[in-house]
Every structure is written in structure tokens, then in C-alpha cells.
């Protein structure tokens, strides 16, 4: 089985990809704040993330595959998902995976008031903390939708707002090979977007991990990929370290 996965991965690394960059390629006005879409680093680390809003059938299988490759991913959880699957939230944390908030109710947050944005974030982060005992540090806006108000509120709450630079489009029902083909374009500092209950994500993950390994890439949670201070985010969404003294959380030593 693993030989088949490796063979597919080798094939994929030879494919010339022409894939859209999603929100990462947008051009922003100078006065518009931008979340973190990727990180300017050259040590061949990338992160893979899973948004969880509906369903949990494949979540344990995702963690099993990740564990078999020594990968720790980041899960962004919606508050109502946390309410419905508290045991799964506890298991995600207990197995060493990182958890961020994906809002409380999955609204289009650019349409909310400042107070409503704050409630979405505080309510969801509180629910996660009450189950895991770990403070939430990361936030991914539903639909990738944001504005300056939302980013300001998140920052004030001590949250790093994180988007993605590689979109698997797994939610569209793509085959495992199609998902892996999209993800294999990842390079150092990229953040990969997947979903915890998409149709073929479990079958795609071994191919993704083997392909990234062939490219010399390693995976770590987003919280270990990003810089914590002394950084800027340019208008493309790339987080850039400003000074040698910027705080960096050490990435794990295990490799794919």
C-alpha cells in the first residue's frame, strides 16, 4: 500500500501545477489590514490545517494518519461543532494537535459589529478552553471573510488571524489524487487548508505527506510556523520577521 502511495506521490511531484492562490493572491488597498496567509521562512516547514464546522466522522481517521506520519496539524473549530462533539475536541487536544477557533456560529464576520465579532471569538475560545484547558491563540475567519474591525478585535484578544496559501478544495468533492495534486505545490512557509469531513481527505493525506516528504518539506502546527512578535504582514499576506530577536516557537525535530 505504502509503495503505491509513494508511486502516486512521485508522479504528482512531476506535475506542473497551475493552481489558484485563493485569497492569498488578492491585491489589497494600502489601508486594509491583512491576516497571515503564509510565513516567510526558508527552513522547509509548512503547516496543514483542518476546518471543522459540520460532521466529525473522519476526524479520528485524520488524526490516525497524521500520527502514523508524525505530523501534528492544526484544527480550527466552530463553537457549535464544539458543543456537538465535546469528546472529539478533548481527543484532538489529548493527542497533541493544535486547536484554534473558527468562530462561534460560522457567520460572515465582515458584516458584524465590533461587539458581535468579539462575542463570536470569546464565546468560541471559552468553549474550547473549558474542554481542553488550553488557551486559544489562533483564529480563522469563516469563509476567509474579514475586515479591519474583525482583525483589530482578534488582535485585541491576543489571537493571530490565520488564513491559507494552499487551498486543497477538498470540500468540493475532489478525488484524493486531485486534492493531493493541489496541495503538492506547497513550499516553505505555506499554510494548507483542508476540512475535517470532506469526502476524500483521509485517502488523500498519505499521498500528501509522501509528496511533501519528497519535496524535502516538514510539517508543524501553525502556532509553531508563525512569528509571535516583531513581524509585519505584507499586502499579499506573507508574515515577515522584522528582527533577529523576533520570538519563534521551535518546530518539532521529527520529520516525515
Residue range 78-109, pLDDT digits in tens? 999 999 999 999 999 999 999 999 999 999 99
C-alpha distance from residue 198 to each of 116, 143, 205, 241 (Å): 29, 16, 12, 34
Please report the pLDDT score of residue 31 as a whole number. Answer: 82
With CA atoms as reference, report the closest residue to 106 among 149, 140, 130, 65.
140
Catalytic hit among 51, 167, 170, 190: 51
Instruction: Answer yes or no: is 112 within a domain.
Output: yes
Instruction: Answer yes or no: is 90 within a domain.
Output: yes
Please report the pLDDT score of residue 11 as a whole number. Answer: 47
Q: Which three cell numbers stand for residue 239?
A: 508574515
Q: Is residue 195 annotated as part of the catalytic site, yes or no?
A: yes
- Residue 139 belongs to domain with CATH number: 3.20.20.370
Please report the pLDDT score of residue 2 as a whole number. Answer: 52
Is 185 within 8 Å of 39 (Cβ atoms)?
Answer: no
Instruction: Answer yes or no: is 143 within a domain.
Output: yes
Instruction: Answer yes or no: is 132 within a domain.
Output: yes
Give per-residue pLDDT as tens, 19-69: 333 333 333 445 889 999 999 999 999 999 999 999 999 999 999 999 999
Instruction: Answer yes or no: is 249 within a domain.
Output: no
DSSP SS3 for 167: strand
Instruction: Answer yes or no: is 2 within a domain.
Output: no
Give per-residue pLDDT as tens, 185-237: 999 999 999 999 999 999 999 999 999 999 999 999 999 999 999 999 999 99
Q: In the structure, what pLDDT confidence band is assigned to residue 243 with cuts at 50, 70 and 90? A: confident
Q: Is residue 234 annotated as part of the catalytic site, yes or no?
A: no
User: Which DSSP string corresponds to 37-84?
Assistant: -EE---S-EEEEEEEESS--TTHHHHHHHHHHTT---EEEE-HHHHHH
Catalytic hit among 102, 106, 190, 195: 195
- 256 has a pLDDT exceeding 90: no
**4/60 Cα distance (integer angstroms):** 23
**76/223 Cα distance (integer angstroms):** 12
Instruction: Answer yes or no: is 254 within a domain.
Output: no
* Count: domains in the chain: 1
Q: Return the residue matching grid coordinates 484554534.
A: 100
| Residues listed for the chain | 256
Instruction: Answer yes or no: is 121 within a domain.
Output: yes
Mean pLDDT of the chain: 89
DSSP SS3 for 198: coil
- Tell me what the mean pLDDT of segment 145-159 comes to: 98
Residue 129's CB is within 10 A of a number of other CB atoms, namely 14
Residue 213: give the domain boundaries: 31-241
- 167 has a pLDDT exceeding 80: yes
Amino acid at each position: 500500500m505504502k509503495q503505491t502511495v509513494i508511486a502516486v506521490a512521485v508522479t504528482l511531484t512531476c506535475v506542473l501545477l497551475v493552481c489558484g492562490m485563493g485569497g492569498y493572491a488578492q491585491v489589497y488597498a494600502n489601508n486594509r489590514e491583512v491576516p497571515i496567509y503564509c510565513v516567510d521562512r526558508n527552513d522547509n516547514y509548512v503547516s496543514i490545517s483542518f476546518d471543522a464546522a459540520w460532521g466529525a466522522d473522519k476526524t479520528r481517521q485524520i488524526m490516525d494518519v497524521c500520527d502514523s506520519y508524525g505530523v501534528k496539524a492544526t484544527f480550527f473549530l466552530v463553537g457549535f461543532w464544539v458543543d456537538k462533539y465535546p469528546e472529539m475536541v478533548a481527543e484532538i487536544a489529548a493527542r497533541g494537535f493544535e486547536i484554534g477557533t473558527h468562530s462561534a456560529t460560522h457567520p460572515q464576520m465582515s458584516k458584524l459589529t465590533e461587539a458581535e465579532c468579539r462575542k463570536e471569538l470569546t464565546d468560541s475560545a471559552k468553549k474550547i478552553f473549558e474542554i481542553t484547558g488550553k488557551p486559544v491563540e489562533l483564529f480563522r475567519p469563516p469563509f476567509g471573510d474579514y475586515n479591519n474591525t474583525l482583525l483589530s478585535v482578534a488582535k485585541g484578544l491576543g489571537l493571530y488571524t490565520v488564513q491559507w496559501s494552499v487551498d486543497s478544495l477538498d470540500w468540493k468533492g475532489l478525488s484524493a489524487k486531485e486534492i493531493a495534486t493541489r496541495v503538492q505545490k506547497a513550499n516553505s512557509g505555506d499554510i494548507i487548508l483542508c476540512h475535517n469531513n470532506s469526502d476524500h481527505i483521509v485517502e488523500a493525506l498519505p499521498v500528501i505527506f509522501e509528496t511533501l516528504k519528497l519535496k524535502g518539506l516538514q510539517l508543524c502546527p501553525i502556532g509553531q510556523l508563525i512569528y509571535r512578535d516583531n513581524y509585519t504582514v505584507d499586502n499579499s499576506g506573507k508574515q515577515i520577521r522584522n528582527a533577529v530577536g523576533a520570538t519563534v516557537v521551535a518546530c518539532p525535530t521529527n520529520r516525515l
